[in-house]
Amino acid sequence: MARAKTASPTGATKPVAATGSECLLEIGVEELPYQFVAPALGALAESAERLFNARRLAHGSVTTVGTPRRLVLVVHQVASRQHPAEKEAMGPSKTVAFDQAGQPTKAALGFAASQGVPVSELEVRATPKGDYVFAVKREPGRQTAALLPDLLSELIGGLSFPKSMKWNASGARFARPVRWLMALYGGRIVPVEWGGLKAGNRTWGHRFVGSGNPQGLVVKDWKSYVSTLERNGVIPDQEKRRAMILAQLNRLAASAKGQLHRDEALFEQAVFTVEFPQAILGSFNPHYLSLPKEIPMTAMKEHQGFFPLINKDGGLVPKFLSVANIKVPGMALIQKGNERVLAARLADARFYFEDDRKITLADRADRLSQMTLHQRLGTLKQKTARVGLLAAKLTETLNKPDLSRAAERAALLSKADLLTGVVGEFPSLQGVMGGEYARHDGEPEDVCHAIREQYLPPAMEGEIPPSLLGKILSLADRIDTIVAFFHVGLVPSGSEDPFALRRHAAAIIRILIEGRVHVNLLDLEARAKRLVQSDGFKAASDVSALSFIADRLRFYVKTVHRFRDDVIEAVLKSAHRHAFDPIDLLARMQALQQITARTEFDPLIAGFKRAHRLIEKEQWERRKIDVSLFTHPAEHGLYKALIESRDGSLTQLARGDYRAMLDTLVGMKPTVDAFFDGVMVNVQDPALRANRLSLLYEIDQLFLAFADFSQIVVQGV
C-alpha cells in the first residue's frame, strides 16, 4: 500500500494510509478538574497509537481535543482491515520429520497438529544448524469494524488519573462519572460498551447553551462534530480556545491601559476550565494598591483564577481579567459577582497584613520552637539554627566574612513568616512576605532580600536568587533539608519524593553553576551532617546525600549541556579524589567532551584502559620506580614522558587549565603505545614485573587526577 507523510496537529509525523475511513471517539463526562484534561489527552493519543499499531491497523494522523466535559479522539484514514500477518514456528529437523522415503514421521505429525496446520503444508528451510521443518500460519487480517469495539473499550478503560471514582454498578473507574459515549467509524456507529454505556452517534453541547437539545446532537464525522458543537456553545479544540482567550485578554487589557501579567499555569487553567471562553474586565478599590503587589496578585490568581494587569513600570493596575464559560447578555452581572468575591479576599488580606506587622519577625522566630519540622527532625527553630551555622560557613568558604552576621540573621528570620496571617492565607507567599515584614521591622536590606529569595529557584526552571546572600541562604536551607532527611532515613524511593528533595537538589545545582558559586559539597555535606547529629537525631540510613545531589548534577549536565554519558561518568567517578565543586566538575566535562573529538584520543584511552586494568587487577599500590631495572628503550621513554608531563599537567590541573592538561595527556600517546608494543609487563622476573607495574601505576594516577578515563567508551568498541 502506498504511503505518504503528513504532519499531525501536535507536530508529529505519521504514516498515512492511502485510503481509509475516519474513527471518531468522544467520552462525555461531568466536569473534569482542569489539571486532568491535558495529560488525559496526551495519554489518549499515545494509547491510540499503540493499540492501533498492535492491531496492525494502518492509519493517518491522530488528533485529540478536549474540554472539561469531553475527551475526543479522531484517527484519520484508518484502513478497512488489518495488515495480513504471518507467523512461523520451527519444528524438528528434516531428518527427524521425514523418513528415507520422504514420508512424515510421528514427530512431523505431532508438530503439525500442535501448530494447527496440515502436515502437507509444512515447509523445509535451510538454517545454520541444517534443514528444519517450519509451520507457517497466514492470517489475512480481520475487518476494522469488527476490531474497533474492543479496541476503543480498552482505550477508554486504560485511561488513568491522579484520582478516580466509581459511580454506577458497572464498577468502571474514571476521574468523573462518564455520561455518554460517541463512537463512529466511516460515519457508522461503533458498538462500544463501557461503564454501563453504549456508544451512539450523538454528542451534547454546552451545559447551558446546548440545553435545548435534550436528545443530543447527531454527528456524522469530525467536520460535522466541530461545526455542530461550535453552533451549540462549545469550542472543542483547546488550541482554538487558547487563541481566543489570548486575543480577548489582550484586547481588554489594552482598553484598560494596562498589560496582561502572563502566567502560563493560570493561562492553562483558563483553557481547560471553559468550553466557550468569554473574557471579562473587572476592577477593585485602588486603596488595595498600598499592599505589596504580590498579595492582590496572589489573591486574584490562586483563589479566583483572575489575571492581574500591570502598567509599563511593573506596578499593579486596579483592574483584573477573568474568563467566563459562557457569553450571555447579562455579562455585567458576572463581572459584579467577580468584583464582590475579589473585594472580600482583598479585605481579608489587608486585615492580615496590617495585623501581621504588629509583631516583629524576630518575636515570631522565637515561636518556631513550637512548630515541628518533622516528627523525626524536631522543630523549625532547630532547623533555622543549623541553617544559620551552615550559612556562616558558606560565607567563610566564599571568602566573604563580612556577610557572616547577615547570613545568620537572615537564617534566624527565614521561617518566621510561616506564623503570619498572610502566609497562612496565601502559602505561596512564604519568603516574599518575610522579606516585606523584615523591611518593615528595619532589618538590613541585604537580609530582607535574602529572606525573600530563599525559595528560589522553585526547581529546574525559574530564576535563581539574584543576591549573593540570597544564594547562600537558599543553599544552606536546602543542604540542611536534604542531609537531615537522609540522616533519619527519609530517602526518596522510585517516583516517591514526598518532601521534594529532588527539587531541592536540582535547585542546589542550578544556584552553584548558574550563580558561579564555588563550593566543595563534600565539606558542606559533612558539616551539615555534624550539625544534625549535634541536635541529637540518630542516623537511620547510610545512603549518601551527596550521591543524591550528584544524580541531579548528572541530569542537569545531560539535559542542559548535552554531554556524553561516558564523559559525565568519567568526571563524577573521580570526584571523590578532589573537591566536589559542580562548577569545577562542569569545566572538566566540557574540556573532556571537546577532546574526545581528537583522532588520537580513542587510541590513547585504549592504552590507558589496558594499564588501568592491570593496576586494578593486581590491586597495585605506589612503589618507588627503579630506573636501573629498565631493560627496554620503551620503558625509558615512558618514564621520561611521565616525569616531563607530570609536573606540568598537575600545575595545569591546579590552576583549572583543563584543556592544556588534556593536551599534555594526549601528547603521551606515542610513548604509551611504544611501551605496550615493546614491553611485556607480566614477565617471570618479579623485580622487573613489579617495576613495570609501578611505572604504569604512576601513569594511571596521573590520568585519574583529572577523571576516571576507564569510563570512556572507545568509539567502535
Asked if 396 and 252 sit in the same domain, the reply is: no
Residue 66, in any domain of the structure: yes
Predicted confidence (pLDDT) at residue 209 exceeds the cutoff of 80: no
Asked if 495 and 399 sit in the same domain, the reply is: yes
Asked if 258 and 118 sit in the same domain, the reply is: no
Q: Is residue 169 packed enough to be buried (19+ CB in 10 Å), middle (13-18) or exposed (0-12)? A: exposed
Residue 571, in any domain of the structure: no
pLDDT number for residue 340 = 96
Asked if 312 and 448 sit in the same domain, the reply is: no
Angle in degrees, CA 641, 647, 649, rounded to 5: 80
Residue 642, in any domain of the structure: yes
Residue with cell 472580600: 344
CA distance 444 to 431: 16
pLDDT number for residue 465 = 97
Grid coordinates given for 576: 571523590
Asked if 65 and 207 sit in the same domain, the reply is: yes
Tell me the pLDDT tens digit for each residue of 334-349: 999 999 999 999 999 9
- Total number of domains in the chain: 5
Residue 582, in any domain of the structure: no
Predicted confidence (pLDDT) at residue 602 exceeds the cutoff of 60: yes
CA distance 34 to 162: 12
pTM score of the predicted model: 0.81
Place 303 in a pLDDT band, splitting at 50, 70 and 90: confident
Residue 308, in any domain of the structure: yes
Residue with cell 489570548: 246
Q: Is residue 65 within 8 Å of residue 238, measured between CB atoms?
A: yes
Predicted confidence (pLDDT) at residue 717 exceeds the cutoff of 50: no
Place 458 in a pLDDT band, splitting at 50, 70 and 90: confident
Q: N- to C-terminal Cα distance for the chain?
A: 40
CA distances from 595 to 701, 708, 715 (A): 20, 15, 13
pLDDT number for residue 3 = 29
Residue with cell 477508554: 156
Asked if 388 and 518 sit in the same domain, the reply is: yes
Predicted confidence (pLDDT) at residue 8 exceeds the cutoff of 90: no
Asked if 324 and 432 sit in the same domain, the reply is: no
Residue 569, in any domain of the structure: no
CA distance 483 to 604: 40
pLDDT number for residue 27 = 98
CA distance 166 to 67: 21
Tell me the pLDDT tens digit for each residue of 406-430: 999 999 999 999 999 999 999 999 9
In sequence order, which residues have a C-beta less than 8 Å from that of residue 161 and are 6 or more positions away? 36, 40, 174, 175
Partners of 21 in the β-ladder: 78
Asked if 196 and 74 sit in the same domain, the reply is: yes
Predicted confidence (pLDDT) at residue 459 exceeds the cutoff of 90: no
Asked if 490 and 366 sit in the same domain, the reply is: yes
Reduced to 3 states, what is the DSSP secondary structure of residue 441?
coil
pLDDT number for residue 1 = 29
Grid coordinates given for 29: 463526562
Residue 581, in any domain of the structure: no
CA distance 377 to 536: 9
Tell me the pLDDT tens digit for each residue of 358-393: 999 999 999 999 999 999 999 999 999 999 999 999
Asked if 118 and 65 sit in the same domain, the reply is: no
Asked if 334 and 211 sit in the same domain, the reply is: no
Structural domain harbouring 599: 587-711
The CATH number given to whatever domain includes residue 645 is 1.10.730
Residue 285, in any domain of the structure: yes
In sequence order, which residues have a C-beta less than 8 Å from that of residue 426 and are 6 or more positions away? 295, 298, 299, 302, 349
Consecutive H or E run containing 373: strand 372-374
Give the domain-ending residue among 102, 120, 139. Answer: 139
In sequence order, which residues have a C-beta less than 8 Å from that of residue 43 and are 6 or more positions away? 159, 160
pLDDT number for residue 212 = 56
Asked if 340 and 289 sit in the same domain, the reply is: yes
Give the domain-ending residue among 560, 595, 625. Answer: 560
Average pLDDT over residues 82-102: 89
